[in-house]
Amino acid sequence: MAGGIFYNSNQSAEYFRTFARNAATDNADIVYYNMAGTVKMEDGLYVNASNQFFLQKATVETQNNLLLGEKTYTSDNPVFFCPNLYVLYKQSNWSIFTGLETIGATAIREWKDGLPTLDLLSLQSGGSGNSYLKGSSYYFAWRVGGAYQMNDLFSVAVAGRVVTSQQAVEGYIDTAYGKAEFDYTDKALGYSGEVGFDLFPMKNLVLSLTYEMATPLKFERNINDGKDMGGQFKDGEKKNLDLPQALRFGVSYNVTEAFRVEFNFDTYFEKYVNFNRLDDPVAGIDADDAYENTYAQGLAFEYKFNEMFLASIGFNLTQIGQKKSSTVDISIPGGHADYWSVGIGGQVTPIKDLKINMAVEYTGFQKTYSNSDFYDKQVYSLTGTMPSKKYNKEYINMAIGVEYKFM
């Protein structure tokens, strides 16, 4: 998705149809995107709920591998439930709000034919070269905050946030003595805060800046049913995989009463958080050196035909901060590559105070890429031919959201 390596920036149906909400001041999903802008909404109590559906496909393709052959490994598990809920009360020059968000890494990946590195470990263990891997994860956040308009030019907002996360992994490799199974669940809980500022220098122009603090997340591992792959995984092990600081900027301008343009720029400071859960001493990967910051740019065009219908199109480019040299198929396959996205959709207002948002979007690698990792070099030492792995990901996502103003 458009966002950081573990951070989801897709937090509403409105976002998927625009890819730019940082400076919006219209719907209650800005409880996440533009807290300080909530003071610009009409007085009243708002409830905004949405769900996202993901059709996702990831592939890892072996190239020039004389041990495993030329093979494409595929994961294409859909996700049908990824909800968001926002409640906002606005009165005069202040607002209070709360939000429930699937803030990061919400996905299911099942590699029914395993992955190249697992197949290689199977061969090294005297097995047939078969493996299996399934993983699922979520980061769920609850935020509470408020905003205040200082004067006609300036507003400010603050919020606190609690994040709970769970990541589950299971699988096996075939060995000379049968299946070597692994099955573990990692859980973490963390707290952080954020602050937002809006500037209204002229009519129809909004400038927004939001800073989200890093959320430390120390995951504790629980081995299920003793399946630790012969001691390769440790019960009770604690390692960090934090959500990074994020800085989000937006500028929105109503060119006419009907036509609005918005530009966003997001930075995720992944270089400055603790990712030691991703250390791989076997492959020679140190997470402290493996990541730079991630950057994302969004551009939206929105047109309001009348009081009932509104349509939009949005574009996004994301430069992922993971270094290519740190790519390992059993860790974050294809995490290095940059993404592009396009989304279309609209908003229908069938009756006063009720809005329905619908969107569909496509996200994919800007280009596929190949990498030879530590395990490929092992194959080279045995065969004299250097193999590599080619990575690709694609998503087709749909979202529907409903907002109602009660007062």
Distance between CA 122 and CA 126 in Å, rounded?
Answer: 6
**Is 337 inside a domain boundary?**
yes
Name the average pLDDT for the chain. Answer: 92
What is the percent of the chain where pLDDT is above 90? 76
Residue 210 · residue 194 · CB < 8 Å: yes
Segment 281-285 long-range contacts (CB within 8 Å, at least 24 positions apart): 282/374, 283/328, 283/373, 283/374, 283/375, 284/374, 285/326, 285/328, 285/331
Residue 326 backbone phi and psi in degrees, to 5: -95, 5
**Is 8 inside a domain boundary?**
no
69, burial (CB in 10 Å: exposed 0-12, middle 13-18, buried 19+): exposed
Task: Look at residue 122 and give its three-state secondary structure.
Answer: helix
Secondary structure of 67-85 in HEC code, one letter for each residue: CCCCCEEEECCCECCCEEE
**Is 348 inside a domain boundary?**
yes
**Is 397 inside a domain boundary?**
yes
Instruction: Summarize the confidence of residues 324-330 as an average pLDDT.
Output: 81
pLDDT in the model for residue 79:
87
Q: Which helix (H) or strand (E) holds 383?
A: helix 374-383
**Is 124 inside a domain boundary?**
yes
- What CATH number is associated with residue 364? 2.40.160.60
Instruction: Summarize the confidence of residues 161-168 as an average pLDDT.
Output: 95
Q: Which of 6-20, 72-86, 279-293 has the lowest mean pLDDT?
A: 279-293
User: CA angle, 285 as apex, 9 and 121 as ends, to 5°?
Assistant: 105
187, burial (CB in 10 Å: exposed 0-12, middle 13-18, buried 19+): middle
Owning domain of residue 236: 13-405
Q: Tens of pLDDT along 173-231? A: 999 999 999 999 999 999 999 999 999 999 999 999 999 999 999 999 999 999 999 88
CA atoms within 13 A on the CB side of 185: 6
Instruction: Summarize the confidence of residues 351-375 as an average pLDDT.
Output: 91
Task: Identify the DSSP state of 124.
Answer: H
What is the percent of the chain where pLDDT is above 70? 98
**Is 18 inside a domain boundary?**
yes
pLDDT in the model for residue 332:
61
**Is 38 inside a domain boundary?**
yes
**Is 120 inside a domain boundary?**
yes
Nearest 10 degrees: Cα torsion 23, 27, 28, 32 = -30
Number of domains in the chain: 1
Distance between CA 327 and CA 264 in Å, rounded?
Answer: 28
pLDDT in the model for residue 393:
87
